[in-house]
Amino acid sequence: MGACPHGDDPPPTDTPRDDVVRTDANMVALLGAPNVGKSAVFNELTEADADVSNYPGTTVTATVGSVDGRRLVDAPGTYSVSSFSEEERVAREVVLGADAVINVVDATQLDRDLFLTHQLLDMGIPTVVALNVMDEVERDGDEIDIDALEADLGVPVVPTVAVEGEGIADLRQAIDEACAPAATPVEQWFDALPDVDASRREAVLVLEGDRPTLERLTAGDARADGGLPDIELPSLRDSIYEHRRRRVDATVERVREPADDRRTVTDVVDAALLNPLTGTPLALVGVGLVYLFIGDVVAQRLVDVLETEVFGAHYVPWVTGLVETTVPASGWVEPVRFVLINDNLGLLTVTVQYLLGVLLPLVAGFYLVIGALEDSGLLPRLAVLTDRGMSRIGLNGRAVIPMIVGLGCVTMAVVSTRIAGSRRERLISTALLGLAVPCSAQLGIILGLLAALGAGWWFAYLGVLLLVFGIAGVFLDRTLPGESHGLVTELPRVRRPRAGNVLQKTVTRTKGFLTEAIPLFAVTAAAISVLEYVGALASIVRGLRPLTAALGMPAGFGQILVLGLVRRDFAAAGMTDLALSASQAFVGLVVITLFVPCVLAMAMIVKEHDLKTGLVMWTGSWAVAFLVGGLLAAVVTVL
């Protein structure tokens, strides 16, 4: 293992400021670009189960574990430490609060990944480099001189193949040797720093134009009117980045010996995926397979077995009988008994049945698919192919994943909007999911009802949904403040996903999601049960009668809508009990699709955004559903 150029002891780097968010007094950050194998490194290093949760004040998840008594924080994938996206801002906060950094570098992408490495060294952060996917370097016939790379960077470099566990023991030992050069070329610009009390790592960020860092440094010097002092931010980012890029190129030139050019099977597959003529059909096949797995295999077949045959036939009758024999149906405990075992959202019956029989397999299936797409490098390619179409409604290609997932489960799709590049894009995606994307449980019943009406009604239903989806997307794009980000993504190598890595990520993410969702849904279910017990839901049904009459629907349709508040498929199933004409059935199916998302999806919207956003989307979907339904009722009446 190479030593830092100044001796055996780490350099005297600045201690992070107290006002920077810190997780622990002995914290190690895991940092690297997307798709470099950080999750695999994290899983191999951590000694206990990881904790996955939103980083404070954001919707970006951070994974935390421990390694040799230290707290290890897996920062979001980023190409540099900055503040131009929410992921970069979270990575910046993690780095500013870290005592050391494990920088995971893709050995096949040195030109790209060493830029972040040099930035960390410029910031004076004790660093150890995990040079990952070395097996692919050997397979390509390339050679990397590890000793020369250590000498050039001045920090320990450990070759690893994280998915196989190779090099992890050496990496664990190298954490104690993390260091940084005492000086780097970035210091030539330090004279341009404004007069602020900054650590070395903060000084580099200020020089690179990071305004949030400068504002934090000057927050204690606020003017009498409460504003910040008028300090000009240096505009040296381009110069520093250009100089750093030259250093990276020089490093790569010294340490890498590329193999002769040759076209591999991976190159052929990659070219086919990125060519619109071949990539588009392949993408459609891929999207179809994703929906087939999530929307059919998991959301229909597996969920049907668990929800009906396991929980419905065995667990629910057992727990209902247990409560009925132990909790009397009178007196002050009667409301408690109702909340625990009522037929709509009983806390011990339907709630448990839904969480474990419906939500758990959907969550695990979703993360399994996403993990495989990430690990194989197909996810960013799918985003590139769909980017042009999604850009017409203020989104980019990343948004295709939430839309696909929404056809399986809108609740999970709301969570998956975290992959969007900005809060604005997450708002647009979430609103469209809640408005015009039916979940698989609802869609299966709707398709059955439409099949009985005839092909014409099916195409009319599909056309209405696509029209509402497009108009709503354009409206949101033009009215929400700010601008959406274009798709900027690095295309990782296409590779065979490693089953162990995908399964490990699936388990960790599923556990993190359920830890958040179970209390949220339980509280919501209990609240709705209380409303039902006191008669509030019945009052809602009575209040809906004028609206259902305006749609040309019978009074019983109001009960259908109330069922839809609980679960969307309850509303679709309730439609089968009404005696409706073909035109009434068509209008009703459109309305229950556009109507508000189920209670869990709404709870997740509030959690991912805020209560105000959730209420706006809730009332907006009511308005759109009845407006479109009324227009359709008028049209079919005339026709």
Is 24's pLDDT higher than 50? no
Q: How many domains does the chain have?
A: 2
Residue 285 and residue 239 share a domain: no
Pairing verdict, β 70-74 and 61-67? antiparallel
Is 6's pLDDT higher than 50? no
Residue 293 and residue 251 share a domain: no
Q: Residue 21's pLDDT band (boundaries 50, 70, 90)?
A: very low
Residue 361 and residue 465 share a domain: yes
Residues 237 and 81 sit within 8 Å (Cβ to Cβ): no
pLDDT at 195: 78
Residue 299 and residue 254 share a domain: no
pLDDT at 117: 95
Is 214's pLDDT higher than 60? yes
Tens-place pLDDT, residues 276-300: 788 778 877 877 787 788 777 887 7
Is 388's pLDDT higher than 90? no
Burial class for 235, CB neighbours closer than 10 Å (0-12, 13-18, 19+): exposed
Residues 315 and 353 sit within 8 Å (Cβ to Cβ): yes
Residue 282 and residue 248 share a domain: no
Average pLDDT, the chain: 82
Which DSSP string do the residues of 404-435 spell out, in sequence order? HHHTT-HHHHHHHGGGSSSHHHHHHHHHHHHH
Rounded distance, CA 561 to CA 554, Å? Answer: 12
Rounded distance, CA 21 to CA 90, Å? Answer: 10
Tens-place pLDDT, residues 328-349: 888 888 889 999 998 877 899 9
Q: For residue 206, what is the enclosing H or E element? A: helix 200-207
pLDDT at 15: 45
Among candidates 514, 300, 563, which has minimal Cα distance to 411? 514
pLDDT at 18: 37
Q: Which of 11-25, 167-181, 374-388, 543-557 has the lowest mean pLDDT?
A: 11-25
Here the tokens at position 92 are 């910046």
pTM recorded for the entire structure: 0.64
Q: Residue 48's pLDDT band (boundaries 50, 70, 90)?
A: low
Tens-place pLDDT, residues 233-267: 677 888 999 999 999 999 999 998 876 666 666 66
Residue 617 and residue 539 share a domain: yes
Residues 553 and 588 sit within 8 Å (Cβ to Cβ): yes
Q: Which of 64-73, 483-492, 609-618 has the lowest mean pLDDT?
A: 483-492
Residue 364 and residue 504 share a domain: yes
Residue 638 and residue 570 share a domain: yes
Which DSSP string do the residues of 251-301 spell out, in sequence order? HHHHHEEPPPP---HHHHHHHHHHSHHHHHHHHHHHHHHHHIIIIIIIIII
Q: Cβ neighbours of residue 393 under 8 Å, at least 6 residues apart? A: 428, 432, 469, 470, 473, 474, 476, 477
Q: Residue 592's pLDDT band (boundaries 50, 70, 90)?
A: very high
Residue 244 and residue 271 share a domain: no
From 237, 262, 287, the end of a domain falls on 262
Ramachandran angles phi, psi of 27, nearest 5°: -115, 135
Is 326's pLDDT higher than 70? yes
pLDDT at 23: 36
Tell me how far CA of residue 307 lies from CA of 298, 303, 572, 599, in angstroms. Answer: 12, 6, 17, 18
Rounded distance, CA 621 to CA 607, Å? Answer: 18
Rounded distance, CA 32 to CA 40, Å? Answer: 12
For residues 416 and 123, which has the higher predicted lDDT (pLDDT)? 123
Q: Residue 8's pLDDT band (boundaries 50, 70, 90)?
A: very low
From 262, 283, 311, the end of a domain falls on 262
Here the tokens at position 182 are 């005492």
The CATH number given to whatever domain includes residue 198 is: 3.40.50.300
pLDDT at 110: 92
CA dihedral 445→450→451→457, nearest 10 degrees, is -160
Tell me how far CA of residue 454 lies from CA of 181, 437, 573, in angstroms. Answer: 73, 22, 19
512-518 average pLDDT score: 76
Residues in a beta bridge with 128: 102
Tens-place pLDDT, residues 409-450: 788 788 778 777 678 888 999 999 988 888 776 777 787 788
Tens-place pLDDT, residues 183-202: 899 999 988 888 778 889 88
Cite the beta strand spans of 80-188 per DSSP E: 100-106, 127-132, 143-144, 157-159
From 234, 262, 290, the end of a domain falls on 262
Q: Cβ neighbours of residue 87 under 8 Å, at least 6 residues apart? A: 60, 76, 77, 78
Residue 375 and residue 350 share a domain: yes
Q: Long-range contacts: 330-339, Cβ < 8 Å, 24+?
A: 335/530, 335/533, 338/529, 338/532, 338/533, 339/526, 339/529, 339/530, 339/533
Domain with 144 in it: 1-262
Is 563's pLDDT higher than 60? yes
Residue 279 and residue 181 share a domain: no
pLDDT at 488: 58
Residue 329 and residue 450 share a domain: yes
Rounded distance, CA 345 to CA 566, Å? Answer: 8
